[in-house]
Structure 1
Amino acid sequence: MDVNFQRRAVNRLQIKVKMPCERSSRCVVLLLLCLGLLQPERGSAQGGAGKTIIRYTGEACEAVKDLVDVLTPYDAGIINITKVPLENRTGQEFYLAANKGSTTIRYTTRSSLENAAYTYLDLLGFHWYGPGDNWFIAPKVLRSLSLAGDWIKPSFRNRSFFGTGGLDFAKMQPYDPQNIYKKKWYDWKRRNRFNVDFIDNGHAGSGFYMDNQHLIEENPDWFNSESGKRAGRLKIEKPAAVSAFKKWVKKRYNNNASDFIALGVEPEDGRGGIDDPLPPNGFNGMAKWNSSDKWWWLANEVAKDYPEEDKNIVVAMYAYGNGPYNALIPSFPLRKNVYPIIIPYSFQTAYLPREMIKKWSSRINGRMGIYDYWNITQWSQGVPQLDIYSIPEKLGFWKKNKVDGVYLETTDAAGPMGHALWLAGQLQWDVGNDFEKLYQQYLNDCFGTAAPAMRRMYDRWSKNYQDAGEVGLSLNDLKMASDVVAVNSDEWKRIADLKAYVHFMKMYYEHDGSQQSRDRIFYYLYSIHHLMLVQTVAFQGQGYIAPGGVAPEGKDISPLSYKDIEMQFRQDLYKSPIRYSIAAFKFDYNKVKYTEPIPAISWRFGAYQCNTYFTAPFSGSFIFDLGGEEKPSFRFYTEDEILLYDSVTKLNSAYIDDLGGRKWWMKTYKVSIMKDKVYHLQINGGSSRVKIKTSGIVLFKNPGIADFDNYQYPVQYFYVPKNTREIVFFDAYPEGTNGRGYLIDASGHRLKREYLGIKNIYRVPVLSGNDGKVWTADFGHAAWGLKNIPNISSLQRFEYRE
């Protein structure tokens, strides 16, 4: 039975109040084994005198200890926990029945027991919303459960995440000598049912080399280079090499006593390249080999040694890698026990993300996993980067396409990701859960009457994050939140945690690149380490913050108290007040009116992130000329499908476009479009040039990326919503650089900017009669963007009907 059972059960809850009892002899929890968790023992417990009785005969475990600890003050009745044979089930399933003060749990594996314990506690009203001490919610009264009893399983069999950079210090830190940070994150993952049957197991090639060095050195013809040898990139046309590899995998299998085993077979750090030789064409009856086919053929070969219907073992390998072949689906069927873990959203160029998922779904005979990157420490550097509203859409799409494993790389940091990871955990457990209800539950339970202010902050982090400008806005939201809750209440403390986090954001954006400034950030991280807000280990072990080098010692660091946090917060409010507001206006592409084409001189020097898009105003043909001075490659695509994928060279071009003494090799393309569908034109390098031949199309872009070369950077146009009184914008360069760097209003006035007191952020006034119109942005570089209105521009003039 699936988790719909759990939702229906909640809807059937009989709210018969059971008051928590006092911590006295009248409230006894009988359990004989959860006192020595580090030394697994077996025991049994049974009793009938207390308010809560837990009967369990099994090895000591943290999940059962949590049951005891949280239920001790309550009358939860009798809870019978029994281990049963695994049989044909996954390791995630469990049986749960509850009625009239009697609960029955049957489990098969450690993961099964954990899932049962925390699902039961979740139904009763216990929630661990974050890893910090303040984020546990216990109900005032227990819900009375009436569950007929059935086997329950999650939507996704494998659910895991880890923070880039890890949680292990290189050496003991005086501010956390026992690494409690790591323990609390692992506790939080367990309590929110993040666990897997199959651990993602990549980079097997170096292991093959290290375990078989003598044999490999005796057979140099199995590889084509020293680097290929050490990475395990063997020649699959060599039967002895394949046999040795399979024997090595079998040995690993025989030495693995786990209930579920994933055997990794991929080479070290991916496939393809000069040290990864392809078999000769014709090998195994295949006319033409590529790197994807090579390694999935090997996965199939290894998988033949294990029963295809055995749910307890898979042969796993990642599908990723740049280039046209590395992430391709194989040209032959995969065995049912081969488990691809695909990486559609990064580190592959064979497909669009959704296209890749659907292609692989159509190829596999069993299930697959997805590896994705959510706000990873290396990229985000600890500040918010994830849109939480993308979570239900992604998970729903994955579930429909044979995905049963979600492997996330993120940041173990409750500041930017606490709310997101809790929501993700709930939806991975039951993808049919209502996102809005879960989100509102989180906000109400954690912040009470402050929920609206906290939602405003979290929503902006997802939908319209303001970078350096975010500090003042978030501080203001946190002030409004803390003003409506009782001082020193649980809600107030959770808000205070986030005040401490936003101070880190403030320090991050004010960092001047000096060693002294960097050290101040580290000392602050050490002082808030106990709050679980930023992944200290990752910053200490990696050079994420300039200028790099060794992190300062953490001696004599005192944990920041709530009194300290509040004093600091008052100073932050004074130094970083809210300096602008964000328009509620939403840009509607259907309200755009075409007025004129892109000027001939505008699109001449496209760079490596030259991305534009449009919503088709009609169905028919879209014709454009594209080329470059060098060799630009491009993709024309929708969300689900690449419609054109080509490169323009001197040899395949149709004509030369000569403009201003420069020459572009050009080619004409024609593609069918459908009304109201969104299309993207993505061009990489080559000093690209585009000429749109079809009238009525307005191409848009999002400023702030390296889309055009700074030389002759094109003038752009953007819409200013009605009733806008100022434009707030980002510019990395001073006004007047190269005689440019200005916003020009609809009346043609070139406006002088005013510094807002935030690094590289400025404002200009919207003079009377200039709102509700299209303005001009005249910059000589790509490092600019709009902040308080939608960051959308075009190379061509247009009209907008608001």
Structure 2
Amino acid sequence: MTPSPPDVPAQSHLVLAADGITDWRIIIAADAPPWQSHAAAELAHHLREITGACFPVLDESSPVSPNEIHVGPSTRWDRATTGLSALGSEGCVLRTGRHTLLIAGNGPRGTLYGVGLFLARHLGCRWFTPTVKRIPRQPRPTIAALDEVHEPAFEYREPYCFESMDPDWAVRNRCNGHFPAFGAEHGGGLRYALPFVHTFNEFVPVERHFDTHPEYFSEVGGQRLRHEAQLCLAHPAVFELVLAGVRERLSHEPGLRIISVSQNDRGNPCQCAACRAVDEAEGSFSGSLIRFVNRIAAAIEPDHPDVAIDTLAYRYTRKPPRVTRPRANVIVRLCTIECCFAHPLESCREKVLLRDEAGTGATFVEDLQAWSRICERLYVWDYVTNFANYVLPFPNLGVLAANLRLFARHHVKGVFAQGANPPGGGGEFAALRAWVLAQLMWDPAADESALIDEFLTGVYGRGGPAIRRYLDAFNRLVRDNLHLHASIYDRPDSDYLTPALLDLADRCFDEAEQLAADAEQLARIRHARLPVRFARIAQLPVDAPGREALINAFRADAMAAGITQLSEHIPLARTIDHLHRGVQLTHFARYPGGWSPFDETWPP
């Protein structure tokens, strides 16, 4: 938030209602678009919940009222929107004048976000989850003089998990990503063409083309690959096929603003003579990729000047090219998949290196710095769960804010934070992470500790402080023991899941359960305890007395909570079967050859 000079005199305080009565009216444009009407309805609804008074919504053709709340730019008070045009597409202003309050923003979402900010900052509203909120009852709410200007730190903000998919929750928490089912009234979001990522095979399917044109696909060790292949980015026919596919998608969905042209989710970049010559000149496999994507972006720009081509800096393409810069209409999503998630990226001692052709390496932070120097629209694809074991305690809560501040300092424009998103959700503290991330993606300078406390108290009541003691102990364990690292594919016997920590967790959850105010709050606390129970069971010897009963009870409670998967792509029933049989709960078993995210090197 940055202050701006007041444009109109303001009263020192505005009293919005008293004892269930108000003479304030909400004013919108006579031809208000759906999102402006929805913003006014949101404000009226919440003000009624807060005050008990009815705030009528009128348009500007109605007679002037003694006290007016203008939602969206107003012809009655046009001077108050001074400076709004200088903000980004989602910036907003909150301003008071004599008997007047203005909440207005840019684009289809700025005014909606302004309403949410006003309710949160000045009336204490919180929307922790789609079903748990805090709307404080205030018989006489009083608003001090306001002159606030707000802009998000990142243009694209997506905390991705099942618990963040509700579009009303997303708008109220100012998330604008691809996946919530936004309607016109929500102002839409930053929509990608589908599929969202890993699109090479969508544009040039190996099943359709390999038999007749194996040269379209990556050459490795002198052989063209049918399986686990990428594209040959030097082949002119591949370029034409991808370009045609991009144009076809854009013609079918004219509202799209981003389309991904990105490597398949595997290794094996093409090493034919032509691709290799480019990559050797660029010092990275990203060289041939960025040159290819730049050509696609240049080809579509005349007909689609508002569309960006998206690609990845992922695994073997994480290191940026030394010569070629991404075009202005290219988005690069830099992925953190190799990193430790227990410590801030900037300070972690586990320096995961990706090797270059000289045998030297670069850390993720060094690659982030290098990409930020050459890429105008750099996004980060971050990971905020354990994909091998969604419900296993994961020690990353203490690094979320530090990493987002790092991204903001290096001019990252968007953040996709991938959590657990199977039907039913259930990732460990997924709703907590989603809410905290949403606030920090808008303002990375926000106090993350205070945010965590707000959520825990708002969702778990008097049991919140007990749960916080466990979370703080977990964070201290990895913070004070720098040899304890966390990947996104960790097993239940990971070194940071110590018996002492789990003992403390049980004591804290016992206390929280005893403090629950009602059955609904108790159910939420017990849901939050499932990860500790899961870790306990998975660490037991297969022949431990009572183990089968513990597994069966856990399964019943997980199903009652709506959980359908405990691991990425693996049904709940299969993981439960693995528990019964004592099978190691590790993600890598699903990949041919035991693939690890740390095995990519240059040169091949």
1:330 aligns to 2:321 (yes or no): yes
The answer to whether the 8 Å contact 1:344/1:354 transfers is no
Shift of 1:121: 1.7
Shift of 1:435: 3.2
Deviations 1:182-238 (A, max 9, x none): 86x444333211213645632111221259958x87655433579857888443333
Equivalent residue for 1:128?
Answer: 126
Residue number among 383, 388, 393 corresponding to 2:397 in the alignment = 388
Letter in 2 for 1:103: L
Q: Any idea what SS the aligned residue of 1:317 has?
A: strand
Letter in 1 for 2:68: I
Equivalent residue for 1:477?
Answer: 508
Q: 1:539/1:361 Cα in 2 relative to 1: closer, same or farther (>3 Å)?
A: closer
Equivalent-residue separation in structure 2 for 1:250 and 1:58 (angstroms): 30
The answer to whether the 8 Å contact 1:158/1:405 transfers is yes
Shift of 1:59: 2.1
Q: 1:130/1:440 Cα in 2 relative to 1: closer, same or farther (>3 Å)?
A: closer
Shift of 1:362: 2.4
Equivalent residue for 2:528?
Answer: 501
The answer to whether the 8 Å contact 1:374/1:386 transfers is no
1:264 aligns to 2:280 (yes or no): no
Equivalent-residue separation in structure 2 for 1:17 and 1:493 (angstroms): 35
Shift of 1:368: 0.5
Letter in 1 for 2:416: Y
Equivalent residue for 1:249?
Answer: 246
Equivalent residue for 1:70?
Answer: 46
Equivalent-residue separation in structure 2 for 1:134 and 1:288 (angstroms): 51
Name whichever structure is richer in strand by fraction: 1
Residue number among 154, 157, 160 corresponding to 2:155 in the alignment = 157
Equivalent-residue separation in structure 2 for 1:144 and 1:450 (angstroms): 32
Letter in 1 for 2:295: E
Q: 1:390/1:13 Cα in 2 relative to 1: closer, same or farther (>3 Å)?
A: farther
Shift of 1:306: 4.8
How many residues align? The count is 488
Q: 1:13/1:279 Cα in 2 relative to 1: closer, same or farther (>3 Å)?
A: farther
Equivalent residue for 1:728?
Answer: none
Q: 1:290/1:279 Cα in 2 relative to 1: closer, same or farther (>3 Å)?
A: farther
Q: 1:217/1:450 Cα in 2 relative to 1: closer, same or farther (>3 Å)?
A: closer
The answer to whether the 8 Å contact 2:565/2:572 transfers is no
Equivalent residue for 1:406?
Answer: 415
Equivalent-residue separation in structure 1 for 2:551 and 2:513 (angstroms): 30
Letter in 2 for 1:341: R
Equivalent-residue separation in structure 2 for 1:211 and 1:88 (angstroms): 48
TM-score of the aligned structures, taking structure 2 as reference length? 0.67
1:521 aligns to 2:511 (yes or no): no
Shift of 1:282: 5.4
Deviations 1:741-800 (A, max 9, x none): xxxxxxxxxxxxxxxxxxxxxxxxxxxxxxxxxxxxxxxxxxxxxxxxxxxxxxxxxxxx
Shift of 1:288: 7.2
Deviations 1:389-432 (A, max 9, x none): 21221111111112111101113547623333322221211122
Shift of 1:52: 5.0
Q: 1:211/1:125 Cα in 2 relative to 1: closer, same or farther (>3 Å)?
A: farther
Equivalent residue for 1:681?
Answer: none
Equivalent-residue separation in structure 2 for 1:241 and 1:88 (angstroms): 42
Q: Any idea what SS the aligned residue of 1:339 has?
A: strand
Equivalent residue for 1:45?
Answer: none
Equivalent-residue separation in structure 1 for 2:602 and 2:319 (angstroms): 17
The answer to whether the 8 Å contact 1:303/1:335 transfers is yes
Letter in 1 for 2:382: D
Q: 1:346/1:188 Cα in 2 relative to 1: closer, same or farther (>3 Å)?
A: farther
Asked which structure has the greater RCO (Cα within 8 Å, sep 6+), the reply is 2
1:313 aligns to 2:307 (yes or no): yes
Equivalent-residue separation in structure 2 for 1:93 and 1:405 (angstroms): 15
Equivalent-residue separation in structure 1 for 2:395 and 2:39 (angstroms): 30
Equivalent residue for 2:61?
Answer: none
Deviations 1:597-629 (A, max 9, x none): xxxxxxxxxxxxxxxxxxxxxxxxxxxxxxxxx
Q: Any idea what SS the aligned residue of 2:418 has?
A: strand
Q: 1:414/1:238 Cα in 2 relative to 1: closer, same or farther (>3 Å)?
A: closer
The answer to whether the 8 Å contact 2:90/2:110 transfers is yes
Shift of 1:242: 1.7
Shift of 1:313: 2.7
Equivalent residue for 1:360?
Answer: 371
What RMSD, in angstroms, separates the aligned Cα atoms of the two structures?
A: 4.5
TM-score of the aligned structures, taking structure 1 as reference length? 0.52
Stretches of structure 2 lacking an aligned partner (at least 5 in a row):
56-66, 75-80, 178-188, 340-351, 355-361, 478-495, 580-597
Residue number among 200, 203, 210 corresponding to 1:205 in the alignment = 200
Equivalent residue for 2:28?
Answer: 55
Equivalent-residue separation in structure 2 for 1:15 and 1:300 (angstroms): 54
Letter in 2 for 1:118: G
Equivalent-residue separation in structure 1 for 2:527 and 2:276 (angstroms): 61
| Larger gyration radius, structure 1 or structure 2 | 1
The answer to whether the 8 Å contact 2:128/2:459 transfers is no
Equivalent-residue separation in structure 2 for 1:20 and 1:467 (angstroms): 55
Q: Any idea what SS the aligned residue of 1:379 has?
A: coil
The answer to whether the 8 Å contact 2:457/2:464 transfers is yes
1:302 aligns to 2:277 (yes or no): no
Stretches of structure 1 lacking an aligned partner (at least 5 in a row):
28-49, 168-180, 530-534, 552-633, 636-644, 648-802
Residue number among 523, 531, 542 corresponding to 2:570 in the alignment = 542
The answer to whether the 8 Å contact 2:152/2:442 transfers is yes
Q: Any idea what SS the aligned residue of 1:154 has?
A: coil
1:193 aligns to 2:168 (yes or no): no
The answer to whether the 8 Å contact 1:292/1:326 transfers is yes
Q: Any idea what SS the aligned residue of 1:334 has?
A: coil
Letter in 2 for 1:148: D
Equivalent-residue separation in structure 2 for 1:468 and 1:20 (angstroms): 55
Equivalent-residue separation in structure 1 for 2:112 and 2:328 (angstroms): 28
Deviates more, 1:114-123 or 1:63-72: 63-72
Letter in 2 for 1:106: A
The answer to whether the 8 Å contact 1:80/1:105 transfers is yes
Equivalent-residue separation in structure 2 for 1:16 and 1:113 (angstroms): 20
The answer to whether the 8 Å contact 1:202/1:264 transfers is yes
Letter in 2 for 1:146: A
Equivalent residue for 2:468?
Answer: 455
Q: Any idea what SS the aligned residue of 2:507 has?
A: helix
Q: Any idea what SS the aligned residue of 1:305 has?
A: helix
The answer to whether the 8 Å contact 2:313/2:333 transfers is yes
Deviations 1:682-730 (A, max 9, x none): xxxxxxxxxxxxxxxxxxxxxxxxxxxxxxxxxxxxxxxxxxxxxxxxx
Shift of 1:159: 0.8
Equivalent residue for 1:796?
Answer: none
Residue number among 101, 116, 123 corresponding to 2:114 in the alignment = 116
The answer to whether the 8 Å contact 2:461/2:517 transfers is no
Equivalent-residue separation in structure 1 for 2:384 and 2:553 (angstroms): 27
Shift of 1:526: 3.0
Q: 1:250/1:540 Cα in 2 relative to 1: closer, same or farther (>3 Å)?
A: closer
Equivalent-residue separation in structure 1 for 2:105 and 2:284 (angstroms): 45
Equivalent-residue separation in structure 2 for 1:539 and 1:283 (angstroms): 39
Equivalent-residue separation in structure 2 for 1:540 and 1:290 (angstroms): 30
Equivalent residue for 2:338?
Answer: 346
